[in-house]
Amino acid sequence: MRALHMGTITNRNVLFNFERPPNRNMSKTYGLIATFGNTHSLYQAAEEICEAGFRHWDVYSPFPVHGLEGAMGLPRSKVPTFTLIGGVTGFITGMLIAWYMGEFDFPLVVGGKPYFSPIFPFPVAYEMTILLASFGAFFGMFITNRLPRHHHPVMDFKKWPGITDDQFLILLEARDEKFDLDETRKFLETLKSLEVVELKE
Amino acid sequence: MSVDTANPPMEAVASTGGNKDLATRALIVGLVGLGIALIGLMQGWRAGDSRPMLGWMIGVSYWLTMGIGMLFLLMILYVFDAGWSVIVRRQLEHALSGFKWVGLIFLPLIALSFFYPQNDAVPWIWMDPANITPGGEPVGGDILHQKKSGFLNVGFFTFRTIFYFAVWIGLAGILRRCSFTMEKDGDPKWARLAHNVSAVGIYLCALCATFAAVDWFKSLEYHWFSTMYGVWFFAESMRAGLAGTMVLCWILATRGYLKGIYNRYHSYLLACLMLAFTVFWAYISFSQYFLIYNANIPEETFWYNIREMNFDGTKNSWWWVSMGLVFAHFLFPFLYLLWYHNKFDRRALFIAVWILVFHSLDIYWNILPGQIPSDENILGFVVRPFVPHWVDFFTWLGVGGICVWSFILSSRKVKHIPIRDPRIVESLNAHE
């Protein structure tokens, strides 16, 4: 990054650490990466890995592959739950604000209406519903994706920048119960992958 | 979701045979239902009772709003060049074939009112200057009618109603013609033409629907005014149209010619639209209530008061209907449709039928309550109670039968899905 600031090196290989010397601590296996040349083999591989019962793994692709989440056996996103909780909280909060102010904090007759009724503060509760529901959706997405995260070991893979272009990867993490370096490597090699590379941490 | 390439059974696409037996039965049900309702209408006409005429209007409006919703939906899908909906669109086109019949069935109301506005059975009391308004004053001496009479007079009213139907039937006819001709010559220029017609048609249809709601429903209480009323009519029409489309597609997909063609994703998107318009309906209905409640002006609030309480403040029958609308027509479908799994198969069918049931309640709620002049109490009127009448039911049944018959007849004329539409492949392979 320092080189970039100085404006002397513009080669993106430096930016992405293509030729980075091995870290002294990089000895532990993080996982195995299999690369694929097209979406068909990627899709089939995802199906087979899912069937084999792996749980800690992910697929990287430059563009969305329709139906891939089904092939991977992923459940539906949990984000709507956050949205719903946010919305309900917002509605109750809005109503409670109006109720507390009207009944206790500052009772005032406005236009002959009662101190509290669920009708006139409805826009307040409604806006609070929308606000907190959007917060729920926004932060729910961050929480379920475990964001913000600035670095991931898969970014050390030398062909990593290619996944924004023409590379399809599958990463099986070593923490998976079914993971065995040699066995899993053999398994991945049977899946029409172009190459299987070990990823150090 | 898996990538499932649709594999339509080709013989189902190629054949254009509808169910002849069902068509005949639907026609018989329609004619018998309308015949019985017509007897009630004539009885009411002789007795000077407006309830059968209101019942006729309720029965026709139930299907008419659904048709208007479907027409809007059809044009919206064209304008947005929607790809997923092509197979659904053809079903809408068939359903819209019933528009001319619904127009014909609406005709007695307009014809009778046009020729005999003095009859007490005419539900629009402003048509006869001798009619008494609540409070004892005749319509002719009512300044509020005098100021509105440039718009609200029998001749212009009749002309407008004919104009609305001409626009709806014309738009439905042009869009059907475009789609069906493309089936024959395969020229994509018809899709472009339909797109352009829809772009203009949405405006025309919106204006007609707004003014129709004002003329037919709102002018029943001509003292009242609300700028939200046309939007309510649009929202309710869209809800009925979408729910009707959902039921129609479900029937065709399980026991009709859409088997293996109509998939989960089509159902999902229709249900998403149902959710959107459920929220929209609640939004504008509540806005209308909220503004009138907050302003608290008697000229406006009376319309809600007669839908809530008797002269002494006790709840009348309409209060329960109102609560039914709030909780059963909005809250339950809203919460139900939030859930992803409720947007498919039988669960989606259930909520569509549910909305169609409460659609009738909304029609009742907007048409039926009215002030009947009376000396019984200090206000000078009583409110017509929520009591379903057999004319409502038989008109509803009759128009429904005619619509089903018209749909089946139309579905025999062309292929069940528009196989030469430029976006047909996209629609067949539609998936999440």
pLDDT in tens, B147-173: 999 999 999 999 999 999 999 999 999
Length of chain B: 432
Give yes or no for B297 touching A (CB within 8 A): no
Choose, out of B2, B323, B335, the residue to mutate when testing the contact with A (most A CBs < 10 Å): B2
Q: Do residues A131 and A165 both lie within one domain?
A: no
* Per-residue model confidence (pLDDT) at position A2: 35
Cα–Cα–Cα angle for A126, B231, B352, nearest 5°? Answer: 75
Domain of residue B149, residue span: 12-428
Please give the average per-residue pLDDT across B285-300, as a whole number: 92
Helix axes B189-212, B51-79, angle to 10 degrees: 150
CB nearest to B3's CB, from A67, A119, A122: A67
Mean residue pLDDT of chain B comes to 90
The answer to which of A13-22, B229-238, B306-315, B340-349 has the lowest mean pLDDT is: A13-22
Give the number of domains in chain A: 2
Residues B303 and B249: their CA atoms lie apart, in Å, by 38
Partners of residue A171 on adjacent β-strands:
A33, A58
Q: Is A34 domain-assigned?
A: yes
Give yes or no for A59 touching B (CB within 8 A): no
Q: Is B190 domain-assigned?
A: yes
Q: Do residues A107 and A164 both lie within one domain?
A: no
User: SS3 for A96?
Assistant: helix
- Give the per-residue SS3 of A12-35: HHHHCCCCCCCCCCCCCEEEEEEE
Residues B142 and B406: their CA atoms lie apart, in Å, by 45
Q: Is A125 domain-assigned?
A: yes
Q: Do residues A126 and A87 both lie within one domain?
A: yes
* Per-residue model confidence (pLDDT) at position B105: 94
* Per-residue model confidence (pLDDT) at position A150: 85
Q: Do residues A94 and A56 both lie within one domain?
A: no
CB within 8 Å: A66 and B432? yes
* Per-residue model confidence (pLDDT) at position B390: 93
Q: Is B4 domain-assigned?
A: no
Q: Do residues A176 and A137 both lie within one domain?
A: no
DSSP state of B187: -
Give the number of domains in chain B: 1
Choose, out of A110, A122, A124, A127, the residue to mutate when testing the contact with B (most B CBs < 10 Å): A122
Q: What is the largest CA-CA distance in chain B?
A: 71
* Per-residue model confidence (pLDDT) at position A5: 39
Q: Is A182 domain-assigned?
A: yes
Give yes or no for B327 touching A (CB within 8 A): no
Give yes or no for B280 touching A (CB within 8 A): no
Question: How many other C-beta atoms lie within 10 A of the C-beta of residue B225?
Answer: 15
Higher pLDDT, A182 or B69: B69
Question: How many other C-beta atoms lie within 10 A of the C-beta of residue A28?
Answer: 9
Residues B201 and B167: their CA atoms lie apart, in Å, by 9
User: SS3 for B387?
Assistant: coil
Q: Is A6 domain-assigned?
A: no
Q: Do residues A68 and A97 both lie within one domain?
A: no
Q: Is A83 domain-assigned?
A: yes
Q: Which amino acid is at B231?
A: V
Using an 8 Å CB-CB cutoff, list chain A residues near B294.
Answer: 111, 120
Q: Do residues A56 and A92 both lie within one domain?
A: no
Give yes or no for B432 touching A (CB within 8 A): yes
Q: Do residues A159 and A188 both lie within one domain?
A: yes
CB within 8 Å: A84 and B293? no
The answer to which of B2-11, B306-315, B344-353, B397-406 has the lowest mean pLDDT is: B2-11
**Boundary of a domain, candidates A144, A169, A191:** A144
Q: Do residues A98 and A134 both lie within one domain?
A: yes
* Per-residue model confidence (pLDDT) at position A180: 86
Q: Is A89 domain-assigned?
A: yes
Tokens of A183: 């066995």
Domain of residue A66, residue span: 11-19+28-75+150-200
Residues B400 and A20: their CA atoms lie apart, in Å, by 74
Is this complex's ipTM strictly greater than 0.95?
Answer: no
